[in-house]
Amino acid sequence: MRVVVIGATGHVGGYLVPRLVEAGHDVVAITRGRQALYRDDPAWDRVERVTADRDAEDAAGVFAARIAALHADVVVDMVCFTSDSAAQLLDGLRGTGARLVVCGSIWAHGTPTAVPVREHEDREPWGEYGVQKAAIEDLVLAEAAPPDGVPASMLHPGHISGPGWPVINPAGNLDPDVWRKLATGERLVLPGFGLETLHHVHADDVAQAFQLAVEAPEGADGRAFHVVSERAITLRGFAEQAAAWWGRTADLEFRPFDAFAATTTEEHAATTLDHVSRSPSASIEAAREHLGYAPRLTSLETAREAVAALAARDGSGIPPLRD
């Protein structure tokens, strides 16, 4: 198939594009520029590259027509963040015969009532990101229903992680000092009782799910799927397991959120609040049943690989992990 990937050089694209090429697909990569790849792969030599500024072209009303003119069998949209942008792309693809697979977020649920949350449950998102991803899903799935619409599906990843970029840590933020404290045995303060959850997923497992959705229209079209690891992890458990990567026992202290926030920066505290307020834990049963999705790595394995890469960087301040 001819597959157009919008946002092809991002975290997931670095795994998805080579997967699609090796599977024999003709891949067109849409990017904002010739930025460095998160992950090199010889498959990129067989990829058609197209540069486009989506924000500017959406504002001008020409981006969707540009994508339609590429005559794709499937369009994979990794970087759709507003319902207006999604509506324009759907309008452009209508009648072309192309299918559409869009990247969402488990934050489309808001705060779950019961866990693991299923795709149709607790759709009361809050925060601009989650609200927009939920609105995009509504558009995409409504469009997929009529016989003259665009066959489409939406995949909702959790905390996408992997080597090459920061990973959400046991404090629910991106502060690299959390890893240093766990590595050196210094006391680490966590919010609440440390029982809030995070649901990581490796970028390659997300890529696996997108490839499956591209290649299995009968299972994907008209549906939304969670794309996460097998199980979420608690902040406490995450910290305890992570400390063992350096041969340490975690020295943990638990404080109410406001007291925790006083121990870190405003930015890190806000990121933590975003995560612990949602405390995500998502079911993958639908993706398993309809796509054959089988995540390769657990949340802890995913985080460990990412942290090992961070520790290998000069000046990271994070000691190397033990074997």
83 plus 177 within the same structural domain: no
Domain end (from 184, 211, 227)? 227
26 plus 125 within the same structural domain: yes
Reference 109, options 10, 224, 267, 202; nearest CA is 224
110 plus 143 within the same structural domain: yes
Domain annotation covers residue 291: no
Domain holding 242, by residue range, is 163-199+231-279+297-311
Q: Give the span between the Cα atoms of 54 and 70, in whole angstroms.
A: 15
Number of domains in the chain: 2
223 plus 301 within the same structural domain: no
Q: Quick one: average pLDDT of 216-221?
A: 96
44 plus 183 within the same structural domain: no
- Please state whether beta strands 197-198 and 233-234 pair in parallel, antiparallel, or not at all (unpaired): antiparallel
Which pLDDT score, from 0 to 100, does residue 34 have?
Answer: 65
Residue 37 pLDDT > 90 = no
Domain annotation covers residue 189: yes
Which pLDDT score, from 0 to 100, does residue 35 have?
Answer: 65
Q: Which residues contact 37 (CB under 8 A, 6 or more apart)?
A: 9, 14, 44
Which pLDDT score, from 0 to 100, does residue 221 have?
Answer: 96
44 plus 177 within the same structural domain: no
Domain annotation covers residue 288: no
147 plus 106 within the same structural domain: yes
Helices (H), 36-150: 54-60, 63-68, 83-93, 128-144
Name the residue with tokens 């009529």.
Answer: 146
Q: Give the span between the Cα atoms of 323 and 221, in whole angstroms.
A: 43
Residue 33 pLDDT > 80 = no
At 282-297, the pLDDT tens digits run: 999 999 999 999 999 9
190 plus 46 within the same structural domain: no
Average of per-residue pLDDT values in the chain: 96
CA dihedral 71, 76, 80, 84 (to 10 degrees): 40
Least trusted range by pLDDT, from 163-167, 175-179, 199-203: 163-167
Domain end (from 186, 210, 227)? 227
At 70-116, the pLDDT tens digits run: 999 999 999 999 999 999 999 999 999 999 999 999 999 999 999 99
Which pLDDT score, from 0 to 100, does residue 65 have?
Answer: 98
Reference 180, options 129, 99, 251, 236; nearest CA is 251
Q: In which element (H, E) is residue 233 found?
A: strand 233-234
- Assign 145 a pLDDT band (cuts: 50, 70, 90): confident
133 plus 176 within the same structural domain: no
104 plus 211 within the same structural domain: yes
- Assign 314 a pLDDT band (cuts: 50, 70, 90): confident
**Domain at 115, CATH number:** 3.40.50.720
Q: Give the span between the Cα atoms of 241 and 2, in whole angstroms.
A: 43
- Please check whether residue 296 is in contact with residue 208, taking contact to mean a CB–CB distance below 8 angstroms: yes
272 plus 206 within the same structural domain: no
- Please check whether residue 111 is in contact with residue 192, taking contact to mean a CB–CB distance below 8 angstroms: no
First to last CA, the chain: 42
Which pLDDT score, from 0 to 100, does residue 117 have?
Answer: 98
Q: Give the span between the Cα atoms of 34 and 214, in whole angstroms.
A: 25
53 plus 97 within the same structural domain: yes
DSSP-assigned beta bridge partners for residue 76? 5, 101
Domain annotation covers residue 242: yes
Residue 122 pLDDT > 80 = yes
